[in-house]
Every structure is written in structure tokens, then in C-alpha cells.
């Protein structure tokens, strides 16, 4: 929010720009014991979708990236919680580089098109 607030006036003044926000697939589904986390990620999605509608007429693009499980160490200190939902250990996890590469791709995708929502997860086959 604060970063968007800092850069948006310049983008609006120049009539162009591209903002990428990062949420989570857990902004679209729940997880036991993580109601606040899931709600905060949905807030990012709702903010991004609303902002996109506001700034599109001014030439500013908004993309929200929703990664699945990323190997960041998020779960490492949560040893006393049940291993369900967010804490379940998936077979494969995304890397931070996977997310970064997706953001770079979104920013370089097309001068006229915008990938407004990217759900990113590991292959399931």
C-alpha cells in the first residue's frame, strides 16, 4: 500500500506505469489456523482489483501475482501447529526466483496488454 501510494502520483502524471502486487493463492481459499493471513492476502487482491479499475483510464496497469507454496522458511518456526493447509509440506515448492521471474515476465509482457492476475503454483502432473 505505502509503495503504491509513493509511486502512483508519478505514474498518473506521466500517463503510464505498471504496478505489481504480491498476494497468495491463500487469498482465494482458506487454511485452518490462518484466517488472518488468508484475509490479509485477499485484501491485497481486493486492493489490486479496485485500484486497477481506478487507474486503467490513466494508462497505469496493475498485476497481482498469487503464488502457491514458496520455499521461504515461513513454516520453519511453526513446529507446534498441525501440518494442515498452509503448514502441510507439499511435494514441490516454488522458489523465490520463480516468483521474481514471473514478475519480470509480467512487466515485460506487452505494451498494450496486461496480465491482471497470475496464479502461480508448481506443476501438478
Q: Could you read off the pLDDT of 21-66 as tens digits, one per residue?
A: 999 998 998 888 889 999 999 999 999 999 999 999 999 999 999 9
Q: Is residue 22 part of a domain?
A: yes
What pLDDT, on a 0 to 100 scale, did the predictor assign at position 51?
98
Q: By residue range, what is the domain housing residue 64?
A: 15-120
C-alpha cell at 88: 502441510
Q: Is residue 2 part of a domain?
A: no
Q: Grade residue 124 by pLDDT with cuts at 50, 70 and 90.
A: low
Q: Is residue 93 part of a domain?
A: yes
What pLDDT, on a 0 to 100 scale, did the predictor assign at position 34?
84
pLDDT for 73-118, tens place per residue? 766 666 665 555 555 556 678 889 999 999 999 999 888 899 999 9
Q: Is residue 26 part of a domain?
A: yes
DSSP for the chain reads: -HHHHHHHHHHHHHT-EEEEEE--GGGTS--TT-HHHHHHHHHHHHHHHHHHHHHGGGTEEEEEEEE--B-SSTTTT-TTS-S-GGGS--S--B-HHHHHHHHHHHHHS-SS----EEEE-----
What pLDDT, on a 0 to 100 scale, did the predictor assign at position 78?
60
Q: Is residue 96 part of a domain?
A: yes
Q: CB within 8 A of 51, min separation 6: which ones?
A: 4, 19, 62
Give the residue numbers marked as catalytic: 37
In the chain, the number of structural domains is: 1
Amino acid at each position: 500500500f505505502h509503495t503504491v501510494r509513493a509511486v502512483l502520483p508519478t505514474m498518473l502524471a506521466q500517463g503510464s506505469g505498471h504496478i505489481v502486487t504480491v498476494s497468495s493463492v491463500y487469498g482465494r481459499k482458506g487454511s485452518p489456523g490462518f484466517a488472518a493471513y488468508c484475509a490479509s492476502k485477499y485484501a491485497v487482491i481486493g486492493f489490486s482489483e479496485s485500484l486497477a479499475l481506478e487507474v486503467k483510464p490513466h494508462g497505469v496497469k496493475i498485476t497481482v501475482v498469487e503464488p502457491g507454496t514458496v520455499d521461504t522458511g515461513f513454516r520453519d518456526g511453526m513446529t507446534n501447529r498441525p501440518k494442515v493447509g498452509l503448514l502441510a509440506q507439499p511435494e514441490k515448492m516454488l522458489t523465490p526466483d520463480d516468483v521474481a521471474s514471473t514478475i519480470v515476465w509480467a512487466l515485460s509482457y506487452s505494451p498494450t496488454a496486461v496480465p491482471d492476475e497470475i496464479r502461480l503454483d508448481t506443476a501438478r502432473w
